[in-house]
Amino acid sequence: MRDEAGSGRPGGAVQWNRGRTVVHRHHNFGEGLIVTLPSALPPLPRPYQDTAAYWEAAREHRFIIQKCTDCGEYQFYPRGVCSHCLSSALDWEEASGKAEVYSFSVNYRAPHPGFAEATPFVLALVTLAEGPRMMTNIVDCDPGSVRIGMAVTVTFDDVTEEVTLPKFRPA
Greater pLDDT, 3 or 85: 85
Query: What is the structure's pLDDT at 143?
Result: 97
Q: Are 154 and 164 in contact (CB under 8 A)?
A: no
Please enumerate in sequence order all residues whose Cβ is within 8 A of that of 135, keeping only pairs 6 or more positions apart, or say none.
123, 124, 125
The least confident of 31-45, 79-93, 122-136 is 31-45
> Tell me, what DSSP letter sits at residue 101?
E
Quick one: how far is CA 17 from the chain centroid? Answer: 22
Query: Which residues sit opposite 170 in a β-bridge?
Result: 152
Query: Model confidence at 12, in pLDDT bands (50, 70, 90)?
Result: very low
Greater pLDDT, 104 or 23: 104
Query: Model confidence at 10, in pLDDT bands (50, 70, 90)?
Result: very low
Question: What residue segments make up the domains of the chain, in order of their start?
Answer: 1-37, 52-170
Query: What is the structure's pLDDT at 40?
Result: 72
Give the SS3 label for residue 110. coil
Quick one: how far is CA 145 from the chain centroid? Answer: 23
* 78-114: pLDDT as tens digits: 999 999 999 999 999 999 999 999 999 999 998 888 8
Q: What is the pTM of this model?
A: 0.75
The least confident of 11-20, 121-130, 139-148 is 11-20
